[in-house]
Amino acid sequence: MSKKLYIKTYGCQMNVYDSERMEDVLRPEGYQITEQPDDADLVILNTCHIREKAAEKVYSDIGRLRPHKDGKTKNGEEMVIAVAGCVGQAEGAEMMRRAPVVDMVIGPQTYHRLPELLKDVKEQRKDKSSARVLDTDFPVEAKFDHLPKVEKAKGPAAFLTVQEGCDKFCAFCVVPYTRGAEYSRPSADIIRDAKRMASEGVVEITLLGQNVSAYHGDDGNGGETTLGTLIRELDKIDGIERLRYTTSHPTEIDDELLTAHRDVESCMPYLHLPIQSGSDKILKAMNRRHTGDEYRSTIGRLREMRPDIALSGDFIVGFPGETDQDFEDTLQLVRDVKYSQAYSFKYSQRPGTPAATDEDQVPEEVKAERLARLQALLTEQQIEFNSTSVGKKMKILLERPGKQEGQLIGRSPYLQAVHVDLSKENIALDETGNKAYNSFMGRMVEVEILEAGPHSLKAVLVAD
């Protein structure tokens, strides 16, 4: 009898990729994915430490799992509960103490060892009433060298990790402590994976890294490949029509990357480039290593290379020491740059980061008021950007069904969600007598945008 695996993924695209790779690691051990945790043999909570109250949310989910662990699974064994990811890395020992129901805590760099760690759990259970396995070391070997072959791609768009870790040590961020130092995969390995993806029907690849613009992979000839050069190499692969990358740091948007946006057709006209604050004083306190004007200059050069590029960003309001003027500087930067979308949050203290011990914390009510003002401006810009799409024709990649019959959802070159109504199209019937809308899944189609909302667009197919 196969064993059931339930994985809950929190946070970033990197965690989505890691969860898929954990599934790959465990499939040879007889595990098959289930959508429900209640009858799973193994539950993995793949956690993220970036968002506010991240650890508390994990503990709440652990509490909901506790009743399911009281009985036996269909295989006659006790459920194994594992916590993976950045919360596990940062708070592993405390989590084992606080949540005895958790059998195993592993960090982002050790999930390739899951099969042997599960054996440790079972060995411990032979002698004890509960198992306690903690593995949050940063191994000397690269985990990518020990991961099994990736299973077949699940759709027309896929993530591909090219870089992990960060050396920037921003004062608010736990990534250097949970993901470790920057590591770039050899370019040949990435190209091999991308070719396999293309052979399986992947049309769009998003290159992932905590600081992906710092990519400097071994080129196999004693030199290094930059992200801009890697994009040019991936563009040569038959079948890959779209390339994206995330997340970048403003200090590492170099000339090779800028010219890739200008020259490489498959490099999408969209860039997520966090700044966090528009105040030079706060940027310095954050250890961001650039000023607001340097960020504006990078954006200006990018728009010279690719005038139609859309930008998104990240913002933190209420960082320790932020004054009304500092916040106004952030609003002004947003007005200057004009974003197609953005993510914004109130600053929350992360244990172990320099800013967490700063005594000049901003009151919660001030943070809330500033966040509301910032989000109102960002929403206004997003609506304005979306509205400029109405009446335009563009190619989109259809990825999944919508909520309405005959509706499929895809992404524009600018990463907007586009709802396409196919109900009036002359589409052939399948063997069940229903219109074969799914035959359009994974296809790149030309559409005309009819309507724009705050978060998505509506479109119809353009006749051939």
For 348-363, the DSSP string reads ---TTSGGGG-S-PPP
End-of-domain residue from the set 105, 135, 165: 135
Instruction: Choose among 53, 182, 178: nearest CA to 108.
Output: 178
Identify whether residues 9 and 104 lie together within a single domain. Answer: yes
pLDDT of 286 > 70? The answer is: yes
Write out pLDDT tens, residues 183-200: 999 999 999 999 999 999
Q: Is 170 marked within a binding site?
A: yes
pLDDT of 426 > 70? The answer is: no
Identify whether residues 433 and 365 lie together within a single domain. Answer: no
Total structural domains within the chain: 3
End-of-domain residue from the set 72, 107, 135: 135
Q: Is 86 marked within a binding site?
A: yes
Q: How far apart are CA 44 and CA 335, in angstroms?
A: 42
Identify whether residues 258 and 293 lie together within a single domain. Answer: yes
pLDDT given at position 150: 67
DSSP category for residue 450? E
Write out pLDDT tens, residues 54-102: 778 888 999 999 888 877 777 778 899 999 988 888 888 888 889 999 9
Helix 324-337 to helix 292-305 angle (10° resolution) is 10
Q: How far apart are CA 55 and CA 33, in angstroms?
A: 25
- Average pLDDT value for residue range 398-408: 87
pLDDT of 51 > 90? The answer is: no
User: H or E segment at 57?
Assistant: helix 54-69
pLDDT given at position 139: 66
pLDDT given at position 437: 67
Percent of the chain clearing pLDDT 70 (strictly above): 92
**Residue 64 in contact with residue 35, Cβ under 8 Å?**
no
What pLDDT band is residue 125 in, cutting at 50, 70 and 90? confident
Using alpha carbons only, what angle is made at residue 389 by residues 331 and 206, rounded to the nearest 5 degrees? Answer: 75
Residues in the chain, how many?
464
Q: Residue 455 maps to which CATH number? A: 2.40.50.140
Identify whether residues 212 and 320 lie together within a single domain. Answer: yes
Identify whether residues 75 and 150 lie together within a single domain. Answer: no
Identify whether residues 383 and 398 lie together within a single domain. Answer: no
Write out pLDDT tens, residues 206-265: 999 999 999 999 999 999 999 999 999 999 999 999 999 999 999 999 999 999 999 999
Identify whether residues 168 and 201 lie together within a single domain. Answer: yes
pLDDT given at position 394: 96
pLDDT of 339 > 90? The answer is: yes
Mean pLDDT of the chain: 90
**Residue 415 in contact with residue 399, Cβ under 8 Å?**
no
Q: Which of 55-64, 115-124, 240-249, 427-436 has the lowest mean pLDDT?
A: 427-436
Write out pLDDT tens, residues 126-163: 776 667 888 887 764 566 776 766 667 778 999 999 99
pLDDT given at position 358: 77
Q: Is 267 marked within a binding site?
A: no
Q: Is 12 marked within a binding site?
A: yes
pLDDT given at position 149: 66
**Residue 378 in contact with residue 333, Cβ under 8 Å?**
no
Write out pLDDT tens, residues 29-48: 999 999 999 889 999 999 98
pLDDT of 120 > 60? The answer is: yes
End-of-domain residue from the set 387, 417, 450: 387
Q: Residue 62 maps to which CATH number? A: 3.40.50.12160
Percent of the chain clearing pLDDT 90 (strictly above): 65
Identify whether residues 451 and 368 lie together within a single domain. Answer: no
**Residue 58 in contact with residue 20, Cβ under 8 Å?**
no
Q: How far apart are CA 208 and CA 108, in angstroms?
A: 14
Residue listed under structure tokens 């759990």: 121
Q: Which phi and psi (to 5°) does residue 239 adopt? A: 100, -25
Write out pLDDT tens, residues 354-364: 888 878 999 99
Identify whether residues 219 and 198 lie together within a single domain. Answer: yes
Prediction pTM value: 0.83
Return the C-alpha torsion angle 289, 294, 300, 306, nearest 10.
-20
Q: Residue 356 maps to which CATH number? A: 3.80.30.20
Identify whether residues 117 and 7 lie together within a single domain. Answer: yes
Identify whether residues 103 and 148 lie together within a single domain. Answer: no
Q: Name the token pair of 458.
A: 């509506």
Identify whether residues 432 and 290 lie together within a single domain. Answer: no
Using alpha carbons only, what angle is made at residue 303 by residues 158 and 288, rounded to the nearest 5 degrees? Answer: 75
What pLDDT band is residue 11 in, cutting at 50, 70 and 90? confident
Using alpha carbons only, what angle is made at residue 95 by residues 93 and 99, rounded to the nearest 5 degrees? Answer: 130
Domain that holds residue 399: 393-461
Q: Which of 100-109, 182-191, 284-293 has the lowest mean pLDDT?
A: 100-109
Instruction: Choose among 131, 86, 92, 85: nearest CA to 111.
Output: 85
pLDDT of 202 > 70? The answer is: yes
Q: Which of 221-235, 311-325, 369-383, 401-415 has the lowest mean pLDDT?
A: 401-415
